[in-house]
Amino acid sequence: MSMGGPGASTVDAHVAKRLRLLRMERQITQLQLAASLGVSTQLIHKYEAGRTRISPGRLYLCSRLLNVPVEYFFAPLEGLQGPTPLLPRRAGAANIPSGTVWHTGMSSGHN
């Protein structure tokens, strides 16, 4: 399945495919799913075709309606390469040089 358009990714395509497969497996129509989510059938079609990304909140609702954990839509993704993590996965700051200044983008309230 191809996901065209700006910002489309392999994960988005995978989630879209998993939604469609699960809906069909459960013998639920696009109309039924749309009505349960309070959206149009056109939007369900766009989700499943990968033309529109599914928001996290709507994906959560889909998982509840279809009785699967949210993780279902992301499994199996083991083979995908993602970006390098910004921080080490293990607890502790051993790999962060001392004197590192973190910028949070938040103001301290002082001028």
Q: What pLDDT, in 10s, does the model give residues 24-51? A: 999 999 999 999 999 999 999 999 999 9
Name the least confident of 8-12, 40-44, 66-70, 98-102: 98-102
Gap between the Cα atoms of 91 and 103, Å rounded: 20
Q: How many CA atoms lie within 13 A of 109 on its CB side?
A: 0
Gap between the Cα atoms of 97 and 47, Å rounded: 44
Q: Which two tokens stand for residue 3?
A: 């996901």
> Residue 3: pLDDT above 50?
no
Q: Please state the separation of Cα 58 from the chain's center in Å.
A: 10
> Residue 98: pLDDT above 70?
no
Output the pLDDT for position 89.
Answer: 65
